[in-house]
């Protein structure tokens, strides 16, 4: 009996040690980035991750990239516009090496949300970006009231998708209501909530979907951004080549 008990303890320990690696995001590359400021954005009040009514910038976060590896080379060195996706960690103005991961595997760490966001939320974010992201929001210049308001609404919609439990349909999203038990939910005030909710309610799976990636650093804010379009085409082309080679290999 004692031998069986020892074997059970060893097996349990092995499983516990294995689980974190099994759920760890798979890096597709790295980027060296630092937050340098904000693009089009506005200050709103947020309830999330234990914060209550915290004034926060919602909208575009400007990052400065200085180096990349593998997929991280897709983005040219210089400014990148992104949106933050987690409330448990802060941004950093120091240059750090972030992993490039798929949105479904972020944000990291997964402690607050109880796991990665998953495929369904990632698809919502892809469609939100594909339908409503405006490249004129990116930069360090002066933005109009309309640009700041709309970018902030978009940022709030991103947080709503990431932090709230999935509703039965997109009509269940509401940035003014925390619909998730505990500290995992999200709600906001002092923003154009009508615009944010209209964006969210339109996500029915029929809109264009952007190719997105997450810049992830365990200990600092994670960001989501789009793969530049020429790079997306190149990646799709490369995938087609690999597919053709696999088919040829199968035929032979």
> pLDDT digits over 84-96, tens only?
999 889 999 999 9
Structural domain tally of the chain? 1
Instruction: Give a yes or no: residue 185 inside a domain.
Output: yes
Q: What is the pLDDT of residue 182?
A: 85
Higher pLDDT, 227 or 182: 227
Q: What is the pLDDT of residue 234?
A: 54
The stretches of the chain forming alpha helices (DSSP H) are 2-23, 118-132, 145-163, 193-201, 229-251
> HEC string of 35-104?
EEEEEEEEEEEEEECCEEEEEEEEEEEEEEEEEEEEHHHHCCCEEEEEEECCCCCCCCCCCEEEEEECHH
- Average pLDDT, stretch 60-89? 97
Least confident of 19-23, 200-204, 226-230: 19-23
Instruction: Give a yes or no: residue 9 inside a domain.
Output: no
Instruction: Give a yes or no: residue 157 inside a domain.
Output: yes
Instruction: Give a yes or no: residue 15 inside a domain.
Output: no
pLDDT score of 242 more than 50: no
Show the domain range for 141: 23-251
Instruction: Give a yes or no: residue 55 inside a domain.
Output: yes
pLDDT score of 157 more than 80: yes
Instruction: Give a yes or no: residue 120 inside a domain.
Output: yes
CB 171 within 8 A of CB 162: no
Instruction: Give a yes or no: residue 107 inside a domain.
Output: yes
- Average pLDDT, stretch 60-78? 98
Q: Tell me what percent of the residues of the chain surpass a pLDDT of 90.
A: 75
Instruction: Give a yes or no: residue 116 inside a domain.
Output: yes
- Average pLDDT, stretch 119-144? 98
pTM higher than 0.75, yes or no? yes
Q: Tell me what percent of the residues of the chain surpass a pLDDT of 70.
A: 82
Least confident of 2-6, 59-63, 134-138, 218-222: 2-6
pLDDT score of 117 more than 60: yes
CB 209 within 8 A of CB 120: no
Higher pLDDT, 237 or 99: 99
Tokens coding 184: 């995992």
Query: What angle do helix axes 145-163 and 193-201 make, rounded to 10 degrees?
Result: 50
- Average pLDDT, stretch 196-221? 98
């Amino acid at each position: 009996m004692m031998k069986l008990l020892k074997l059970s303890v060893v097996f349990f320990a092995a499983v516990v040690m294995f689980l974190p690696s099994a759920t760890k995001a798979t890096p597709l590359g790295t980027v060296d980035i630092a937050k340098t400021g904000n693009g089009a954005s506005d200050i709103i009040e947020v309830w999330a991750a234990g914060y209550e009514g915290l004034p926060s910038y919602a909208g575009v976060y400007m990052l400065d990239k200085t180096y990349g590896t593998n997929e991280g080379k897709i983005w040219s060195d210089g400014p990148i516009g992104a949106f933050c996706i987690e409330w448990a960690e802060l941004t950093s103005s120091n240059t750090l090496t972030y992993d490039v991961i798929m949105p479904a595997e972020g944000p990291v760490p997964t402690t607050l949300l109880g796991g990665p966001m998953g495929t369904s939320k990632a698809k919502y974010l892809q469609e939100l970006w594909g339908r409503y992201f405006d490249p004129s929001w990116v930069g360090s210049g002066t933005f109009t009231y309309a640009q700041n308001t709309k970018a902030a609404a978009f940022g709030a919609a991103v947080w709503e998708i990431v932090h709230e439990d999935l509703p039965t349909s997109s009509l269940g999203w509401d940035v003014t209501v925390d619909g998730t038990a505990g500290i995992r939910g999200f709600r906001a005030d002092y923003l154009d909530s009508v615009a944010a909710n209209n964006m969210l309610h339109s996500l029915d799976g029929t809109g264009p979907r952007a190719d997105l990636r997450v810049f992830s650093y365990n200990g600092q804010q994670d960001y989501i951004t789009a793969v530049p379009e020429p790079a997306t085409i190149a990646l799709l082309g490369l995938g087609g080549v690999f597919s053709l080679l696999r088919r040829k290999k199968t035929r032979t």
